[in-house]
Amino acid sequence: MNKFSVLPVLAASILVSACEQVATEQTTNADVNTDQVIKVLHDFEDGNINGDVKFVASNGELVKSDSTALNVKFASQSNYFSSLLIKPDTPYDWSEYDDFNIAFDIANDGEHSVNIFLDVSDVHGNNYTRSVSVARGGVKTYYAKLAGHDLATPEGRGDIELNFLSGLRNNPPTWASDDIQFISLWGKKNLDTKAITQVELSVQYSLFDKEITIDNIRLRQNPPKNEDFLANTVDQFGQNATVDFADKVHSQEELIAQKKTEQAELTGELFSDRSKFGGWKNGEKQEATGYFRTGKVGDKWAFIDPEGYPYFATGLDIIRLGDAATMTGYDYDEPNDRSTRHVELQSRVDMFEWLPPLDGDLGQHYSYAGYTHSGALLKGESFNFQRANLQRKYGNNYENMWLDTTVRRMMNWGFTSLGNWTSPKLYDNNKVPYFANGWITGDYKTVSSGQDFWGALPDVFDPVFAASADATVQRVAQEVQDNPWCVGVFIDNEKSFGRSETRASKLGIILTTLPKNGAEVPTKAHFTQMMKAKYKTIEALNKAWDKDIASWEAFDAGIDSTMTTEALDKDYGDMLYAFANQYFRIVNEAMEKHMPNHLYLGARFPVWGMPEEVVEASSKHVDVISFNVYKEGIIPRQWAFLQDLDMPAIIGEFHMGAMDNRMFHPGIIMASDQDDRAKMFKDYMYSVIDNPNYIGAHYFQYADGPLTGRVYDGENYNIGFISVTDTPYAEMVNAAKEMNTELYQRRFK
């Protein structure tokens, strides 16, 4: 053991200049074979961090001290993004190393776990983001692979380990050690290691100040890889087969015993302070309309339940079974002909310790995916371990038993609603209110924002889009049947209206549409008419935009959209507003036509895709603005614009996960273990409850993702209230009960 003193850094808007000496015992968790150091980047022994490599707090000031380690203090409410930037004057050249990782010794000296995001960037502007949760306590080693010559797949598709051609969002470690691997998130994995421009450690949207100590930043040779690191990792229940953990199921008898114990606890009774529809029966009663509506109770927005009681929506998303299927690695020559089954990806087939016979009792839980958004395979056979486990647990009537158990769980756990993507089979439960949903699909034309993560945007000025939206809402109306237990309806999800980081990302719809021909692109034709109405003559537009466009006909045929002037950008913003206004107006008109008694809740803006023009346009048509906010909580000043709009809002998605149940990915927001996950869940919910404009939040999601990733896009997150074996996480359940018990008194105090 050795002791080191630490240099404090405030990674926020104020830089700590005083040198704080803290003696800390450093212990090593690394196996001697895992810590083959090939280059020490910074050990801070000489206290000099002002040479050719700068250590910069997020306010851009340099850190100076004579200490021998860094104590970094990340601020919370004052900064959405608080970071320590390690930036060399000349890019790091690590190209001589073929198979290596970057490692940090980190201790958590604070009161909370620290979800750290690691960003490594190269000279080409590429960036790769990973994350890890640093639990409270002493020093541990955390590492991230940067390069590796791992075994390529037999199919010749490249490096399965580094490029995740396994179909997982994050692979398990390829060697055994006590070190902790950073989890893969997004970005370009194969960076140019000849020119690494910076390494950044950040804390984002934290509700609390965080603190860590960093030492011994180094490059290490990757130990020999276990070539079978993915083989036989999934047991017969869809769990991690390689390790034991709390609540792991080992037999069908355990499943049945668990069922009997839980069923005795599920009384089907509401919390004592709840109205029939889950509102606050002790609260100030409002006008009752027989359906859910919105209104203000004092100075706070609220849902008002059908009987007139104040109502705040809490609940879980994805209360259905279809998302639990995972790709097996097999494919068929013909989708419906199982006799043509063949191995399509051997490395994935080998992950499963067991799969049932196609014609066996559990064979009914195979299905076929003709399309995937992303992952190891574009199509192929899938298997649903969750359904198989429910059949084992509840018998052949498993689905009805699961539906009934789910409703009673929600009541027992205190949730007031069933969140988005609830199975329509629960729409008539008439015990817990629900949120309905629909997707607009059709043969309408499309436009691009340039960042169409989930797909291109509809051309909202194409008449086919209006017809498609009308048909979608009509289908939802048929499912809901004017049921007063339906709180409202989400239509679509996370549309790529634009990102606010840069001008190009924010105005992408405009920049990609103006070069198009209005004769072929209805949105472009509308933009032409907007500018003609404003400027009257092409000469007036040319003067404002500093252009030389020959005529309105030339404008409509397609123009260069890359130049910028103040007037031009104002007009671009107006076009973006017009596009969004058309989208939300059309959907709202369909809602008023087919579902006049139910609330329109928008399209659930992701925080990365909510340009102010689009949000403002939506506010003219929706009853409640919806956002998916994958952060540690709601920072009040980020959402102050809701007060300016004087609109209620709801969180459509958030989550946090951990790794102690031996899944391979914790999700977007990471906790240190299940206890910490439960605490972070409550902290998030309290931040929403305390915001006067927010009137609900739904946690994503009811069940964990499959260990080997869901069919659609490979998500394999520990984010559920229940595991793949239908086992509730006691920590999360207890946290939900505590939060829901305090819900109304805290909200309307």
Average pLDDT over residues 229-250: 95
pLDDT, position 153:
39
pTM of the model: 0.93
Same domain for 337 and 205: no
**Contact, 219 vs 101, CB < 8 A?**
yes
132: nearest Cα among 23, 214, 19, 28: 214
Average pLDDT over residues 663-674: 96
Average pLDDT over residues 493-499: 92
Which amino acid is residue 590, in one-letter code? A
Q: Is residue 158 part of a domain?
A: yes
Task: Answer with the one of 177, 198, 221 that is the final residue of a domain.
Answer: 221
Burial code (b: 16+ CB inside 10 Å, e: under 16) for 135-169 equals beeebbbbbbbbbbebeebeeeeebbbbebbbbbb
Task: Answer with the one of 221, 242, 265 that is the final residue of a domain.
Answer: 221
* Cα gap 185→345, rounded to integer Å: 23
Tokens describing residue 46 = 């000489």
Same domain for 355 and 216: no
CATH classification at residue 130: 2.60.120.430
pLDDT band at 61 (very low <50, low <70, confident <90, very high): very low
pLDDT band at 48 (very low <50, low <70, confident <90, very high): low
Q: Is the pLDDT of residue 133 over 90?
A: yes
Tokens describing residue 662 = 């031996």
Q: Is residue 246 part of a domain?
A: no
Average pLDDT over residues 270-276: 96
Q: In what helix (H) or strand (E) does residue 509 lie, and over which residues does it extend?
A: helix 508-513
Same domain for 177 and 30: yes
Q: Is residue 712 part of a domain?
A: no
Q: Is residue 535 part of a domain?
A: no
* Cα gap 299→696, rounded to integer Å: 16
Tokens describing residue 749 = 């105090």
Same domain for 334 and 202: no
Q: In whole angstroms, how far apart are CA 203 and each of 79, 85, 114, 237, 384?
A: 9, 12, 7, 36, 36
Which amino acid is residue 202, in one-letter code? S
Q: 3-class secondary structure for 78-94?
A: CCCEEEEEEEECCCECC
Same domain for 150 and 11: yes
Tell me: the pLDDT tens digits for 136-191? 999 999 999 998 754 333 343 344 444 556 788 888 888 999 999 999 998 888 89
* Cα gap 557→561, rounded to integer Å: 13
Q: Is the pLDDT of residue 535 over 60?
A: yes
Q: In what helix (H) or strand (E) does residue 367 lie, and over which residues does it extend?
A: strand 366-369
Q: How many domains does the chain have?
A: 2
Tokens describing residue 157 = 């598709």
Count the Cβ atoms, other than its own, within 10 Å of residue 396.
9
Same domain for 200 and 332: no
Which domain covers residue 181, as residue numbers? 2-221
- The β-bridge relationship of strands 325-327 and 380-384 is antiparallel
Task: Answer with the one of 187, 221, 255 that is the final residue of a domain.
Answer: 221
Q: Among 69-73, 183-187, 551-555, which range has the highest average pLDDT?
A: 551-555
DSSP state of 614: H
For 722, list phi and psi in degrees, rounded to 5: -130, 155
pLDDT band at 322 (very low <50, low <70, confident <90, very high): confident
Least confident of 24-38, 43-57, 522-536, 564-578: 24-38
% of the chain exceeding 70 in pLDDT? 90
pLDDT, position 605:
96
Query: What is the torsional sign of CA 610, 613, 618, 624?
Result: positive
Same domain for 173 and 40: yes
Q: Is residue 434 part of a domain?
A: no
Q: In what helix (H) or strand (E) does residue 651 lie, and over which residues does it extend?
A: strand 649-653
Please provide the DSSP assignment of 681-748 as one string.
HHHHHHHHHTSSSEEEEEES-SBPPPTT--TTT---B---SB-TTS-B-HHHHHHHHHHHHHHHHHHT
Helix (H, G, I), strand (E, B) or coil at 593: helix
Tell me: the pLDDT tens digits for 191-213? 999 999 999 999 999 999 898 99
Tell me: the pLDDT tens digits for 627-646? 999 999 999 999 999 999 99
Residues 6 or more apart in contact with residue 399 via CB below 8 angstroms: 321, 390, 425
Q: Is residue 307 part of a domain?
A: no
Q: What is the mean pLDDT of the chain?
A: 90
Q: Is residue 607 part of a domain?
A: no
% of the chain exceeding 90 in pLDDT? 76
Q: Is residue 331 part of a domain?
A: yes
